Amino acid sequence: MPTPTHHAIAQTVKAGLIKVIVTTNFDKLMEQALIMILIFPTVIASADSFKGASPLIHTDVAIVKINGDLLVSAS
């Protein structure tokens, strides 16, 4: 369950003040908070997802997970 901090960041994204979230967290709580307000982020959590991603300038919102993602195997 996303925390109040996740929801506050999501509202900041909704307001257009943030486009890229860089996190060391490997859970999906930030994505969940965004999806709850109908924002669907591009998630970059591995070398493969980075290579295949559109340039950040072309995304509405991106989450960059520098430690990877709990449910995505590292490459």
| Structural domain span for residue 12 | 4-65
* Structural domains counted in the chain: 1
Sign (positive or negative) of CA dihedral 53, 59, 65, 71: negative
Structural domain includes residue 39: yes
Report whether pLDDT(64) > 60: yes
Asked if the structure places residue 51 within a domain, the reply is yes
Q: Identify whether 57 is part of a domain.
A: yes
**33 located within any domain:** yes
- Whether residue 73 lies inside any domain: the answer is no
Q: What is the pTM of this model?
A: 0.86
- Residue 75 covered by a domain: no
* Structural domain includes residue 71: no
- The span from the CA of 39 to the CA of 29, in Å, is 13
Task: Specify if 48 maps to a domain.
Answer: yes
pLDDT over 70, % of the chain: 95
Please tell me the distance from the alpha carbon of residue 33 to that of residue 54, in angstroms, as a whole number: 22
pLDDT tens for 16-40 read: 999 999 999 999 999 999 999 999 9
